[in-house]
Structures are given as C-alpha cells and as structure tokens.
Structure 1
C-alpha cells in the first residue's frame, strides 16, 4: 500500500453552533461525510465544505485536540466548534475592523458609534487581507472567499442583510457595547473628531448654520466639519438604541 493510499477513504465532520449557519441545517450541529482522495489538511477540508477558517475554534479529532494543519485519516471523527471571542480580540482593547465594499452602511454605523472601522470601496480582496494582517484588523465581510485567504487570521462572515441588523449582530458577536463612544469618529473617513471653535471655521459655514449652531467638531484627518443639525436628528435614534444595549450589557 502506498503512503498516499492510506489517506483515501471517508471521514465524518460535525460542525457545531454558529458554524451551522453556513449550511441548510436548522439544528445545533451538522454532520457531513467527506471523501478523502489524498493527504489533505483540515483547513482545506473545512473550507471546501464552505466554512472560512477564521470562524473555526476548537477542533477535536477522535476526542483529541487538533489544529487546521492536521491531516485526517479515513474513519476519523472530527468535531469543529466556532471560535470564541478571546480568539478574535482582547478584552483590554477595542477591536479594529476592516470591511469589504458590500458593507459601507455598516461601516458608517460603526464609526458613528466610535468604533475603528477601515473601509474603501476601491479595495480589492488582496488589499483588505494585507491591511488586516499589517494593522491587526478583524475582517468583516459577506464574502466567504475573502475569509478563506490564508493571511487572514481574524475575521467574521456577517449573516444579516439589513445594515442595522448587521450592526446588532457585530455588536453582540464582538461585545462592542462597552467601547461605544458616539460621535467621536468621522463617518466618512474614520478619523477622530476634535472640538473646534466656531470662530475658527466661520468662513466654511453657510449663513443659516452660522446663525443657529454654536458647537462644532472637525475631523482631524479629512477636515470635515460636523454639528448637531438635521443629520444628527436622523441618526440620534440609532445611537440611542445601541446606547440601551450598552447599558444592558455593562
């Protein structure tokens, strides 16, 4: 028998918890029979079945812990569990994110709540992966293929379609509520906002804005000026909604 032939045969892979979201299964686990044809790593098998490796946590092969580099043998029983929060981020520092071009609205909401969220609609998948690796950012995406890139160590596939539902999902997934600092980041570029005296920016204000508003902030990065006008009134209910989550989870 050749060395390669010992790797040919069937294994049983059972996905648990949130990982079943990637399948049609409505139960708490999803069992799949996978046919090995050659020596193959668990990472390759798991992703071939549709689950991105950054979402994977504990792995048990025949009740023994293993990692993504493990090469299973026919007859192996493999349990795959979702990653835990401490595998994605530290409890001491607010996580930093980078989002793909399908999540522009979610990006704006995160920034309004003071969360560091990198985004550029012109970024290709390779750009996102590189920035995530270089800056220690968690990738948020709806694209499983992006998360399968080897260089990405931390990431999450957003399940919800609606931006507000996405915000709620990501907030709970990464326990962000205690890090909320509303209106401290620029929703356009992610820069930090600084209070600025009205007199210093008068030449940039329209007549009615000069007349009715006295408190202003300016982005330290792009220079955009903000005040509590009609836009503030429209987004204030969103901020208040998530402030409630903040208070509940403290």
Structure 2
C-alpha cells in the first residue's frame, strides 16, 4: 500500500467530502493505482484538474503513485481545447444554457434524449467539450474533453463557461432552437412564417439554414441586448487577466 497526502487547491474543495475540506488529507492507494485514480477517488474529476505536483515535480495523471504529497491545482483559465473556437455538447440538464450559448454564436449541440454513453461517443467523435454538472459522467475514461459547469442558475452557468473558455463570440448568428447558422433573408421570403404586421414593420430578417426558423430584432431584442453585452464583458475580463487559476 502507498500513503498519499492530497493537498487540494481551495477552488476544488467543493468537490470533496466535507470532512476533507480545509487542508491536506491522507489516502491509501494500491501500488498499481495512478495519480489520476487517487484524485478521482477523492471526488475530483480530472477534467477539473490542472497540474499535479509531487515533491516539486509535475507528474502525469497516468503515472503510478508513490508515497508523498500530491498537490492538486485547478484547470487554468482560459482553458484551451482541441478546437478553436471550442465546440460544446450539453447534457439534458443544461437546456437553458444551450440557448444562451447559441445566442452568442457558439456551436452548442444538445441531445436531451441521449444517455451517458451516447453523449461521450458524440463528444469524442465530434471533438466537442461535454458540459455537465454530473461528476460521474466526467469520470468516463473515453471522454477526451469535459467541464463541470458551476452555478445554480442559467446566468451563473453561462458566466462560468465564458470565464473558463473565453470563446470568441458572434452574437445573433445562430439559431437558438437547433444551433444552425443564420442567413440574411428578405421580408418577402419571411412573410409566410411571421405575422403580417411583423413583415410590414421590419425589413431585416434571418433564417436558419437547418430548421428554417425565421428571426428578426423586434421588441424582444431589448431583453437580449443586455445578456449579450454582459457576456462580452465576461470574456473580455478573462482575456485581460490572461491565464489564471480560479
């Protein structure tokens, strides 16, 4: 048996059992266990972890454990992904967040009917970051990229994702219903899909190239503009700060 002392960054304490919060704690591990296994056994998904340091040296999550002190740092923000801009996949519990991400022009897929295994396969196959609040889902070995979304409201969830990834935003360019790209269209083309008064009042319309839904900036835009402005500020603030641990 090996004896490992985990010194987990306070930013990750919320993932630990209450008795383990507040400072270093000791765990026992088999000789065949990896550092990553020890960290996840403590309750911290590896998707949330940055550097692992043992006695001053950075170690790989796949490395075999030895007796010592393991310091666990949170993932650095903004986090780089395999895709630029990042592409996301959200689980069934983040339906409100997916519409916000699409409003901001981000590629956000949503398959509420998919089970955990299907979500992992889709994320891996399409190079997407799986966003979820399910820690068990993030521990799946075949998941290449994932992120635990923090927050209890859609506003908080959006702020967390934008702060973590600082993605380039392109507001008003995606369909919030299906995520397809929007293309400009004429009032005449949109007339059959909107009320007559809308077609007479507005001249600038856009249509989703996938589901054909029509969009225009009506009175409802007044409620959306502040959401977009706030999102842009969150991303700009993270980029000004540069890489940092939250």
Q: Considering the TM-score relative to the shorter chain, is it more than 0.5? A: yes
Alignment of 1:83-232 (within 5 A): 83-85=75-77, 88-89=80-81, 93-176=84-167, 179-232=168-221
For 1:21 and 1:211, locate their aligned partners in 2 and report how far apart those are by CA, in whole Å.
Answer: 54
- 1:16 aligns with 9
**Structure possessing the higher relative contact order (Cα contacts under 8 Å, 6 or more residues apart):** 2
Query: Which has more radius of gyration?
Result: 1
Q: Compute the TM-score of the two structures, normalised by the length of structure 1.
A: 0.86
Contact 1:140 1:157 in 2 (8 A): yes
Root-mean-square deviation (CA), in Å? 2.4
**Counterpart-to-counterpart distance in 2, 1:49 and 1:196:** 54
- Find the aligned partners of 2:169 and 2:78 in 1 and give their Cα distance: 19
Change (3 A) 1:102 1:245: same
Equivalenced residues, count: 238
1:242 CA displacement: 2.3
Secondary structure of 1:230's aligned partner: coil
Could you list the per-position Cα deviations for residues 112-156 of structure 1 after superposition, in whole angstroms to 9, with x for gaps in the alignment? Answer: 011111112112111211111111111111000111011112221
**Structure 1 alignment gaps of length 5 or more:** 1-7
Task: State the alpha-carbon separation in 1 of the partners of residues 76 and 226 from structure 2.
Answer: 31
Alignment TM-score, normalising by the size of structure 2:
0.87
Gaps in structure 2 of 5+ consecutive residues: 241-246
Whether the aligned pair in 2 keeps the contact of 1:112 and 1:182 (CA below 8 Å) is yes
Moved more, 109-118 or 56-65: 56-65
